[in-house]
Structure formats: structure tokens, C-alpha cells
Amino acid sequence: MRYDSTTGLDAEQLTELICRIWQIVAGRGEISGRPVLLNIREQVVMTLIILRQNVNQATIADMFGVSQPTISRAYRRIVPLIEQACCLSGVCLKTSVSDGVCKEWAS
């Protein structure tokens, strides 16, 4: 999948965002618990696709091979984490998604 066209981030930027989110989650001690159907990378990618492309959750569920409620739970969990990760660089989520690329990450 070409992430830059679907998520607005190139592979390096996507990896940076996922690492930041992982650090936030690990710092909160949220890593343990029940097993997840989508790993953190898949959750971030599907959330970015929803935000950028405005694809409905049922379609995303089909793309990732899970149910719509699973997508909904992951989306509700990941959006605040993306927002928090973007705050670490001083970029708001709305600007990141509308511009397509976090310019601060491009350096």
C-alpha cells in the first residue's frame, strides 16, 4: 500500500508517528491486556485513512478483515493518541490531516 497517498504520510513519517504513539501507550502501561485484532501499526494506518479519505468504518473493516465495531473501538482509541503524538511536535491533528504531511517531520 502506498501510504503517502492514502494516509498523507510517507513511510518514514508513518513510522515516526507509530513510534511516538507506542511510547505514549508504553508510558501509560496500556500494552498488556486482552489480545488485539489489529496491531498498533494497522490501527494507526486505518485511523489515518478514515481521517484523510473519509472512508466509512464498514469499508475499512472489510479492508482489514475485522468487524466494524473493532474499527470503531480502535479509531476512538487512536485519534487521541495521534493528537497527543502530534502535540509533541507542536502540530495539531486538524492541520496534519488537512495538509496531508506534517511539515515539521519532513526535515
* Three-state SS at 91: coil
Say whether pTM exceeds 0.95: no
Distance CA 27, CA 52 (A): 28
d(CA 59, CA 57): 5
Average pLDDT, the chain: 82
Give the Cα separation of 95 and 27 in Å (integer): 26
- Domains by residue range for the chain, with CATH: 3-98 (1.10.472)
pLDDT tens column, 24-49:
888 876 665 667 789 999 999 999 99
